[in-house]
C-alpha cells in the first residue's frame, strides 16, 4: 500500500512539474492567442500554446532491471482529416506520405535503467507560435478538420536475459481538437505476458479494457 501511495505521489509530482511551466510561463502568450483567435476567427475554443505528448512505459517485473533500456524513434505529423482518411483507406500506411501531411517533429530517445519509474516517461512539447502553420490549422479547424499522427518504432531491451522486444509501424493519432483545452496526448506502452509490446492513447490503456487504440473521442467544443 505504501509503495502504491509512493508511486502515485511520484507520478502526481512529475505530472505537476511537467504541467507547471506550461501554465505559468506561457500564460500571457496563451491569453493573447485566445483574444486573437476570438477576434479574428470567432472560435469557441482556446488555441493552446503548445502540443504536449507524454510517452510512458508501464512497469514490467521481468524487464525492469538495471541495464535494461527503452528506445523510441518517432515522427509527428499533422494532416487534413480528408487526406489522412483517403490515404488510410488506400492502405498506404506510414510508408508512403503523399497526402497533405506536414512533419511537426522528428526525434528519438533512449532511457536506461527501467527499474527506475522516473526513467519510464518523458514529455515532448511542440510550440504553436502565432502565425505559424500549426496555429493556422487550428484557426481553420472547423472548415478543415485536422489529424495529428505519429509514426513510432519502439524497442525494449533486457540486457540480463538478452531479450529485445521491438515494434514498428505503430500509428497513434488524435483529432487536433483534442488539444484545444491543452491536455497531454498520451502514448502509453506496455509489455504483455507473451512479451508483445502494446500501446494505447488513453489512460487506462486499452488492453486493460480489452479495446484497440484509435481516435480519442472528441466532445463538442465549448461554446
Closest CA to 74 of 127, 148, 150: 150
Q: Which of 18, 153, 183, 202 binds another protein (CB under 8 A)?
A: 153
Identify residues 78-97 at the interface with another protein (CB under 8 A). 85, 88-89, 91-96
Residues contacting another protein: total by CB under 8 A: 38
Identify residues 41-80 at the interface with another protein (CB under 8 A). 71, 73
Residues near 58 by Cβ (< 8 Å), separated by ≥ 6?
120, 188, 189, 190, 191, 205
DSSP 3-state of 173: strand
CA distances to 39, 47, 76, 77, 137 from 130, in Å: 14, 9, 20, 19, 11
Binding region for another protein (CB under 8 A) out of 1-9, 33-41, 131-139, 194-202: 194-202
Cell of 210: 480489452
Binding region for another protein (CB under 8 A) out of 14-22, 44-52, 128-136, 207-215: 207-215
Binding region for another protein (CB under 8 A) out of 30-38, 112-120, 122-130, 160-168: 160-168
108 binds another protein (CB under 8 A): yes
Length of the chain measured in residues: 223
Residues near 183 by Cβ (< 8 Å), separated by ≥ 6?
52
What are the residues binding another protein (CB under 8 A)?
A: 71, 73, 85, 88-89, 91-96, 98, 106-108, 110, 149, 153, 155, 157, 159, 161-169, 171, 173, 195-197, 210, 212, 214
Amino acid at each position: 500500500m505504501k509503495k502504491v501511495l509512493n508511486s502515485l505521489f511520484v507520478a502526481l509530482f512529475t505530472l505537476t512539474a511537467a504541467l507547471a511551466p506550461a501554465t505559468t510561463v506561457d500564460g500571457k502568450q496563451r491569453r493573447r492567442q485566445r483574444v486573437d483567435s476570438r477576434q479574428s476567427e470567432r472560435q469557441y475554443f482556446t488555441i493552446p500554446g503548445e502540443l504536449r505528448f507524454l510517452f510512458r512505459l508501464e512497469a514490467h517485473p521481468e524487464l525492469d532491471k538495471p541495464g535494461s533500456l527503452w528506445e523510441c524513434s518517432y515522427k509527428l505529423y499533422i494532416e487534413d482529416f480528408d487526406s489522412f482518411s483517403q490515404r488510410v483507406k488506400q492502405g498506404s500506411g506510414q510508408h508512403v506520405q503523399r497526402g497533405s501531411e506536414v512533419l511537426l517533429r522528428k526525434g528519438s530517445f533512449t532511457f536506461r535503467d527501467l527499474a527506475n519509474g522516473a526513467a519510464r516517461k518523458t514529455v515532448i512539447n511542440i510550440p504553436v507560435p502565432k502565425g505559424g502553420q500549426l496555429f493556422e490549422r487550428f484557426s481553420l479547424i472547423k472548415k478543415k478538420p485536422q489529424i495529428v499522427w505519429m509514426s513510432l518504432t519502439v524497442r525494449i531491451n533486457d540486457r540480463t536475459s538478452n531479450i529485445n522486444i521491438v515494434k514498428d509501424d505503430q500509428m497513434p493519432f488524435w483529432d487536433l481538437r483534442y488539444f484545444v483545452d491543452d491536455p497531454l496526448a498520451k502514448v502509453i506502452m506496455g509489455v504483455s505476458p507473451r512479451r508483445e509490446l502494446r500501446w494505447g492513447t488513453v489512460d487506462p490503456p486499452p488492453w486493460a479494457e480489452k479495446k484497440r487504440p484509435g481516435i480519442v473521442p472528441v466532445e463538442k467544443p465549448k461554446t
